[in-house]
Amino acid sequence: MKLSSLSPKGILHRVRRKTAVQSIQPGDPGLPKHVAIIMDGNGRWARKRNLPRTAGHEAGLQIVREITQECVRLGIKYLTLYAFSTENWRRPKQEVSFLMNLFYQSLQEVTTDLHHEEVRIRFLGNIDQLPPKLTALIKEVEAQTAQNQRLTLNLAINYGGRHEIIQAVRGLVQKAQEQGLEPEKITEDQFTRFLFTAGQPDPDLMIRTSGEQRISNFMLWQTAYTELYFTSTFWPDFGPAEFRAALAAYKKRSRRFGGIKEGRRK
């Protein structure tokens, strides 16, 4: 759409958005420390172009690389990407098989580069239920990048938020029984030590692409006070400029964590 076809109000909105996006600079103290993304819309992106769904997944992989590099550049410390949910096993077997092979191939291709950029790669979910070849590679990648500190890239594969909570409850109950911990003395801090994200801050910002406005069983415990950002852009079109637009929107939010903003009574 050309600027000449917009109303004065529309032009002003475009200019303000561009200015906000350009204001996002490395080391900005207003940026989130942890960004989580539900990468949605690969299939619809492909369908609009009369391509197979697999083409959308391949295109989406390139965006994963671009957004990861952007986080490194900006100094964001944690990036969590929802790659494959526990519910995604219900998809056609051919598509699931393609995704498993794509995960394997992409890890082989990008791990060395990310390691050189000091990116730590971690995996959230029940990894042992994945194909053995992929599971073995995942463990190698985690070990290889374990000491990197520039960015922690969490890849949620075979992940479900409810299942994560159940797993954490089981672990905490077992420890409580072993140590004789009384139920009323169990704290939130103790519980979080059994989550997949133990030792990491909760997401400050969660982004979902493709126009859907739900969190789809993703990081249910961790997102209690996370800022949500929804965009109609399909994931394969969600490049660094769209990402910076989301960060600019986040910077305008007032985070009160259940309290009130200073100077307000309500």
Which residues form the catalytic set? 40, 88
Q: Which residues contact 139 (CB under 8 A, 6 or more apart)?
A: 127
Give the ranges where 33-187 is alpha helix by DSSP (H): 42-48, 53-74, 93-116, 132-145, 161-179
Strand 78-85's sheet: what is its strand order? 119-124, 151-159, 78-85, 34-38, 205-208, 227-230
Residue 103 structure tokens: 């995960």
Strand partners, 84: 157
Q: Are 124 and 155 in contact (CB under 8 A)?
A: yes
The angle subtended at Cα 230 by Cα 227 and Cα 233, nearest 5°, is 145
